[in-house]
Amino acid sequence: MALNSPNIPYSLLELAIVSSGVSTAQTFANSQDLARKAESWGYKRFWLAEHHNALSIASSATPVLIGHIAGGTKTIRVGSGGVMLPNHSPLIVAEQFGTLATLYPGRIDLGLGRAPGTDQVTAQAIRPDRMVSVHSFPEEISQIQQYLSPENSTAKVRVPFAEGVEVPVYVLGSSTDSAHLAAQKGLPYAFASHFATTHLFDALNIYHNEFQPSGFLKGPYTIACINVIAADSEEKAESLFTSLIRMFVGVITGQSEYLQPPMRMTSELRSLWQHPSVNQMLKYTFVGTKETVKQKTKEFLNQTQASELMVVSNVYGHEDRLRSCELFAEIMQEIDAEKGTGNEA
């Protein structure tokens, strides 16, 4: 099967991961530096994910960080990947993103999900009635769209400055439920295959088969997420990967900690990597040199026919992370060049 199309966009998903020994303030500065460089490397978007009560994740106040990133860049689109809507009032989300889109016109995306982005105790502390909102997720998306539309100018509840402001809405998902919804609403669909790997192909098939054109989108548009750790040698990439392995093991065992420095890949860590739970979560994690990651990326694109790739690159050291993202940009540019000349494998 051929690749979906030439010039496949590639983007970054940021969690503001806090590495051991690095301050939160420095983490935010590193995020902005990464966004600036990603802009120069041709990345289309820089999305931030909402998480709460996680020791190593500092992207809790997602709209605030979106403003921080957008203010430090010029052209790259910045948005949420995503805002967990049941944690918030649709009116407040419309106000926040209407403000962002007014400050940075044509550059703000609103990705919406229905998961809590945290544990159940913290979710209850955020919004005690959130389960009511979970069941109202489709209606609350429509509410946000209504607040942002010019047609809302005669309503009793308004966001006057945001009416008619461009804020594209994306449905985020990690199961098949969101695929039905995105298709029904005719909205672009982003799937969290960087950790929720089981339902990827079922969700994509549902979305494509059930898609209904809308005033927002004429045909299906899918974003698939992958983990990428690229380096100039296989040994270096595997060493960097040890930090991510330990982070995922911590998630599974409930032992939260800051992202740990890389170490030599040991037989014990390799066994952890192959543990069924870890291996399933890391199924779409591409580790290695540019050539290794390029081949895996091409296979993934061929299998999914994704319209766009969104990369998560959780690497301990900032310079190593920059290098990984730079190499991936080179990979995507090479894939596009091969597609344009008909030389893809």
Q: What pLDDT is attached to residue 200?
A: 97
Residue 116 is predicted with a pLDDT of: 82
Q: What CATH number is attached to the domain comprising 201?
A: 3.20.20.30
Radius of gyration over alpha carbons of the chain, in Å? 20
Q: State how far the Cα of 243 lies from the Cα of 255, in Å rounded to an integer.
A: 14
**Residues 197-205: what's their mean pLDDT?**
97
> pLDDT tens for residues 43-52?
999 999 999 9
pLDDT band at 1 (very low <50, low <70, confident <90, very high): very low
Residue 193 domain flag: yes
Evaluate whether 222 touches 307 at the Cβ level (below 8 Å): yes
Cα–Cα separations (whole angstroms), residue 234 to 3, 23, 120, 240, 264: 26, 29, 39, 10, 12
Say if 265 falls within a structural domain.
Answer: no
**Confidence class for position 134, pLDDT limits 50, 70, 90:** confident
Q: Is position 5 within any domain?
A: no
What was the pLDDT predicted at 6? 53
pLDDT value at 261 more than 80: yes
Q: Residue 247: which pLDDT band, with cuts at 50, 70 and 90?
A: confident
Q: Establish if 267 belongs to a structural domain.
A: no
> What pLDDT shows up at residue 341?
55
Closest-CA residue to 167 (of 151, 191, 149, 142):
149
- 344 pLDDT higher than 50: no
Query: Bigger pLDDT: 331 or 122?
Result: 331
Whether residue 7 is predicted with pLDDT greater than 90 in this model: the reply is: no
Q: What is the per-residue pLDDT across 274-288, written as a single tens digit (0 to 9) for each? A: 888 888 989 999 999
pLDDT of residue 329: 98
What pLDDT is recorded for position 345? Answer: 34
The answer to whether residue 5 scores a pLDDT higher than 60 is no
In a domain, 194, yes or no: yes
10: amino acid identity, one letter: Y
Q: 73-114 pLDDT, tens per residue? A: 999 999 999 999 999 999 999 999 999 999 999 999 999 999
291 phi, psi to nearest 5 deg: -65, -40
| 258 located within any domain | no
Please give the Cα distance from 73 to 57 (Å, whole number): 22
Count of domains forming the chain:
1
For all residues of the chain together, what is the average pLDDT? 93
- Find the DSSP H helices in the chain: 24-40, 62-71, 90-103, 120-126, 130-135, 137-147, 177-185, 200-210, 234-253, 267-274, 276-281, 290-304, 318-341
Summarised one tens digit per residue, pLDDT across range 324-341 is 999 999 999 999 999 765
Helix, strand, coil percent content, the chain, rounded in steps of 5: 50, 15, 35
What is the per-residue pLDDT across 58-69, written as a single tens digit (0 to 9) for each? 999 999 999 999
Share above pLDDT 70 across residues of the chain, in percent, rounded to a whole number? 97
> Can you give the residue range of the structural domain that contains 122?
10-228+284-341
pLDDT at 253 (0 to 100): 80
Do the domain assignments include residue 266? no
pLDDT of res. 4? 43
Tens-place pLDDT, residues 295-321? 999 999 999 999 999 999 999 999 999
Average pLDDT over residues 158-183: 97
Chain centroid to CA 210: 23
In this prediction, residue 272 has a pLDDT band, given cuts at 50, 70 and 90, of: confident
Q: Is the pLDDT of residue 232 over 80?
A: yes
In a domain, 302, yes or no: yes
